[in-house]
Chains A and B, each alone.
Chain A
């Protein structure tokens, strides 16, 4: 019990640092964001101490990802946290943790390997145009390549997200810098689900706050909007969604702290809950803004774009199929 509570206190300490760091990133170019976040000690949360990291559990990254979501951080933060840990034993680890090299991951597609070189088209690589390092999936795990290596071509960004636009990358006989075996790459992908759940949760919280502010100030029919029950109930449902995600994230933390084998399953369901309830909450917050919600200036659409992108990057549709398949297998 006390372990859980100490854990909660430790995690809370990151939240405030992260909020401030994310806020000060807003006006900076991407590479300066890397220095800012590294300087605040946020990029090495998961990385081993030998790489300059803090070697903490995944749940310590949750408040940082929440802050990134709430503050619309334009940086491949989940990717950086995961790559710093995965390549902690190589020279790339410290470079990533210190913010000297910007690293990202192509979440979709995989390349073929021939004669030690990789070729193919991968996609869903956030901010690949700003990155030095790119992780791509192979038949046997994943490899790290240099973005400026011969044979690497970037396609213009296409996708919903405005903060960390996604790119497709064509690789033609590119020499890898380092490799990740299948098991560690699978773990990285699973860990990413929890980080995305936190990010979507942060966005949903922020959108609820924006909606609350809007309906508390705008008047129609001689009353502030918040006095209308239909709107109050919509806000209550948004709050319910935010609490669902928070509870699911806490459950993962509790299971992980006690070493329960269920923790991995809990990360999957936390992510599934975030995509389902979090996105619905963001859409509802947009609705409560009325016409303002459909304008470019109001940030809710940015959160929606980002959350929908996180939904695709984590393959929420495929995850639901796997959860159903697991259920069928368990009752064969």
Chain B
């Protein structure tokens, strides 16, 4: 990589930082990376790793993390700015998002000093990709029912169990593993977090083919895997509660670029339609005006949830369960949009221009991938439950009269 990629001018904040991000991206985005251009080629894993490592050196990743651990020591305000600029270009999704947005923040919150120095720099430099080992075949939405067991064996932990829907597992070097140290009746108590090495003997990854054809998530079999004591995160019975606190904030701060990426997609759709006489006539006709306008409104609502999060967190206010409102909205709005884009572009006549075909390919992928968005990170039904139980505070009354 160029030397200038290793350079983030010190002391940049706010709009000065935005100018740096824009200039840096204009100079460094590799050819073919932009999803709204006809020459787009989805980059492979190595290209993504190199790119994300470069972004980190350029000051576009690890933005709020302390400099002692490889971060840039800036504020959430700059985090939002970087996300807006990255979103506008619809740059590839991170191949280490679970490291940057889940494992990293949890390590920062509950890890020891030694753990922070050991895990965080390789994560930002993309030498270690993380996956998330939470869900199990019988513990998905009901995570408290998980059965993977960690038993103390002298100075180490010995772990047995099975994880599923583990995104990124085939590429990961580390797994943020949630395992049970107490009896299953303890539900949420007695759960501990570990930083498990994916190359440890006894770890077997079986990729699952997704409905969009990719193999991004996997089953992870854990057979008598030894985890060193210094790879345990937080106290055995407190890891989970600490993680939950971090997760509530993360749900509101992760992938903050969504609204701007979504906007890139909407504008790409319109431009692609205008390149084709048939599609141009369709979007001009008025038939699609309502749904296009509703998409504009949906995107503004995502922004309306995201933008104040920064100021609130920086002022020390709590975000509470607002992340559930946001998640429910963007996932459903994005699915509505994906269906609209697909419906429009599938009306393209045979022999349409390459730009139109490229858009078709993008939005076919997007439509399929969007089916996962109302399932992962807490299904729509789980989010509705959270809003009812925790935001509205609805009583959880069961049957009366002893039934």
Q: Which residues of A contact B (CB under 8 A)?
A: 1, 4-5, 212, 216, 219, 222-224, 226-227, 229, 232-233, 235-237, 239-240, 243-244, 247-248, 250-251, 254, 265-266, 269-270, 272-273, 276, 319-328, 330-332
**A276-B297, A327-B292, A328-B270 given; A236·B387 CB < 8 A:** yes
User: Which of A1, A248, A325 meets B301, CB within 8 Å?
Assistant: A248
User: Which of A222, A227, A270, A276 meets B401, CB within 8 Å?
Assistant: A222
- CA of A240 to CA of B292, assembled, Å: 21
Contact A328 B297 (CB under 8 A): no
User: Which of B314, B325, B397 meets A226, CB within 8 Å?
Assistant: B397
Q: Does B137 have its Cβ within 8 Å of any Cβ on chain A?
A: no
User: Which of B293, B300, B307, B315 meets A320, CB within 8 Å?
Assistant: B293
Q: List 14 A-B contacts (CB under 8 A).
A: A212-B392, A226-B394, A227-B397, A235-B394, A250-B308, A251-B304, A265-B300, A269-B301, A276-B297, A319-B293, A323-B297, A327-B293, A331-B274, A332-B274
CB-CB under 8 A from B315, the residues of chain A are: 1, 5
- Shortest distance between the CB of A256 and any CB in chain B (Å): 13
Contact A328 B283 (CB under 8 A): yes
Contact B325 A251 (CB under 8 A): no
- Shortest distance between the CB of B12 and any CB in chain A (Å): 18
Q: Does B294 have its Cβ within 8 Å of any Cβ on chain A?
A: yes
Interface centre among A4, A239, A250, A331 (most CB of B within 10 A): A331
Known: A227-B399, A276-B297. 20 other contacts (CB 8 A): A1-B314, A224-B397, A226-B397, A227-B396, A232-B394, A236-B387, A237-B384, A240-B325, A243-B322, A244-B301, A248-B300, A248-B301, A248-B304, A272-B294, A320-B293, A320-B294, A321-B289, A326-B296, A328-B270, A328-B283
- CA of A229 to CA of B398, assembled, Å: 11
Contact A222 B403 (CB under 8 A): yes
CB-CB under 8 A from A265, the residues of chain B are: 300
CB-CB under 8 A from B397, the residues of chain A are: 223-224, 226-227
Contact A233 B381 (CB under 8 A): yes
Contact B388 A232 (CB under 8 A): yes
- CA of A332 to CA of B296, assembled, Å: 16
Interface centre among A1, A248, A272, A327 (most CB of B within 10 A): A327
Q: How many residues of B contact A (CB 8 A)?
A: 46
CB-CB under 8 A from A5, the residues of chain B are: 315
- Determine the main DSSP class of A at the interface with B: helix
Residue in A closest to B400 when the chains form the complex, CB atoms: A222
User: Which of B288, B304, B384, B400 meets A223, CB within 8 Å?
Assistant: B400
- Shortest distance between the CB of A200 and any CB in chain B (Å): 14
**A232-B384, A232-B385 given; A324·B290 CB < 8 A:** yes
Contact A324 B288 (CB under 8 A): yes
Contact A251 B391 (CB under 8 A): no
Q: Does B328 have its Cβ within 8 Å of any Cβ on chain A?
A: yes
Contact A239 B398 (CB under 8 A): no
CB-CB under 8 A from B395, the residues of chain A are: 216, 224, 226-227
- Shortest distance between the CB of B169 and any CB in chain A (Å): 32
Q: Does B371 have its Cβ within 8 Å of any Cβ on chain A?
A: no
- CA of A270 to CA of B304, assembled, Å: 10
**A232-B384, A328-B270, A331-B267 given; A250·B293 CB < 8 A:** no
Contact B288 A236 (CB under 8 A): no
- CA of A88 to CA of B122, assembled, Å: 64
- CA of A224 to CA of B322, assembled, Å: 27
Residue in A closest to B386 when the chains form the complex, CB atoms: A236
**A1-B315, A236-B392, A323-B293 given; A251·B300 CB < 8 A:** yes
Residue in A closest to B269 when the chains form the complex, CB atoms: A331
Interface centre among A212, A224, A235, A320 (most CB of B within 10 A): A320
CB-CB under 8 A from A323, the residues of chain B are: 292-293, 296-297
- CA of A82 to CA of B188, assembled, Å: 55
- CA of A322 to CA of B290, assembled, Å: 10
- CA of A327 to CA of B297, assembled, Å: 11
CB-CB under 8 A from A226, the residues of chain B are: 394-395, 397
CB-CB under 8 A from A269, the residues of chain B are: 296-297, 300-301
Q: Does B187 have its Cβ within 8 Å of any Cβ on chain A?
A: no
Q: Does B24 have its Cβ within 8 Å of any Cβ on chain A?
A: no
- CA of A43 to CA of B110, assembled, Å: 53
Residue in B closest to A329 when the chains form the complex, CB atoms: B270
**A232-B385, A251-B300 given; A240·B293 CB < 8 A:** no
- CA of A266 to CA of B392, assembled, Å: 27
Q: Does B311 have its Cβ within 8 Å of any Cβ on chain A?
A: yes
- Shortest distance between the CB of A311 and any CB in chain B (Å): 13
Q: Does B286 have its Cβ within 8 Å of any Cβ on chain A?
A: yes
- CA of A247 to CA of B394, assembled, Å: 22
Contact B294 A330 (CB under 8 A): no
Residue in B closest to A215 when the chains form the complex, CB atoms: B394
- CA of A219 to CA of B391, assembled, Å: 23
Contact B290 A240 (CB under 8 A): no
Contact A254 B284 (CB under 8 A): no
Q: Does B266 have its Cβ within 8 Å of any Cβ on chain A?
A: yes
CB-CB under 8 A from A250, the residues of chain B are: 304, 308
Q: Does B305 have its Cβ within 8 Å of any Cβ on chain A?
A: yes
- Shortest distance between the CB of A136 and any CB in chain B (Å): 28
Contact B328 A240 (CB under 8 A): yes
